[in-house]
Structure 1
Amino acid sequence: MIQIDGPFYRIVEPTFELLLPRWEGHDPQTQEEAEGTITLPDGTRYYGTFMTLDAITAVMRRHQSTGECLNGAYFSCEDLIIVHRPGIPAIVEVVRHLITSGELEGACTLLGPEESEL
């Protein structure tokens, strides 16, 4: 279940807690991008960026007009996890899989204890 926690959405499950910023104009059921902090039960924290292909395409088109990234010739984003479907429920499904498959560490950046959430 998606809970509102101040400026964040918080999703709590037995194997993880996911914290995502609440961006103005983004519906949690249809948003196509999010940055999140994933906390495991032992306190270990990871950071990832989740985007659909449509969101990446939109950024690249915007870069064509702004001149960034060689006029939209490429897109780069650290810790990028491309999701097929939009919405926080799709992101949660992906996080569950990353954890159960053991792929979380390879897909996301490990955050140190001194780093603040998002």
Structure 2
Amino acid sequence: MRWDPPQVTNTSTELRPEAGWDGPYYRVRTDGFEASFLPNPDEALDEVCNVDTEVRLPDGSRWSATIFTVAEVSRLMKRWEETGEAAGGRSFWCSDGLIVRDPGIREMVTVITELLASGEFEGAFHHLDDSV
């Protein structure tokens, strides 16, 4: 079943999400989805640059991605140059990875909203088993 997202704007100040902590998860509920982020416990939410995310859509489907900032990908690749991982830092990959420009949960929620509105969400996120 394909979900038809509501009309959205490009300004994150108009999202008006409901958000808060639920155990180790930071959950954001909007009119169009619920996103659960798993940031490091000591990380400021506006500085999150590498986070596992699960999104639930109104049709009950569940989707996942690990969201990275461009700067975080660069940092990891530089570290891997020294450790020899990922072809000596010459490559970066992960299954269901999504790269965003700016850090922070609010920015990531804006990106999710825009991906849903543009129809690109299903290409960026990995569909999970809905029976859980």
TM over 0.5: yes
Instruction: Report the CA distance between 1:69 and its aligned residue.
Output: 0.9
SS in 1 for 2:65: strand
| Partner Cα separation in structure 2 for residue 91 and residue 42 of structure 1 | 21
Tell me which residue corresponds to 1:8: 25
Tell me which residue corresponds to 1:58: 75
Q: How many residues align?
A: 115
| Partner Cα separation in structure 1 for residue 89 and residue 49 of structure 2 | 19
Tell me which residue corresponds to 2:66: 49
Q: Does 1:99 align with 2:82?
A: no
Of 100, 105, 109, the residue aligned with 1:83 is 100
With the length of structure 2 as denominator, give the TM-score of the two structures: 0.82
Any stretches of 5+ residues in structure 2 without a counterpart?
1-17
Q: Which of the pair has more CA radius of gyration?
A: 2
Identity of aligned residues (%): 33
SS in 2 for 1:54: helix
Instruction: Report the CA distance between 1:4 and its aligned residue.
Output: 0.3
Any stretches of 5+ residues in structure 1 without a counterpart?
none
Q: Does 1:22 align with 2:39?
A: yes
Runs of 4+ in 1 over 4 A off after TM superposition: none
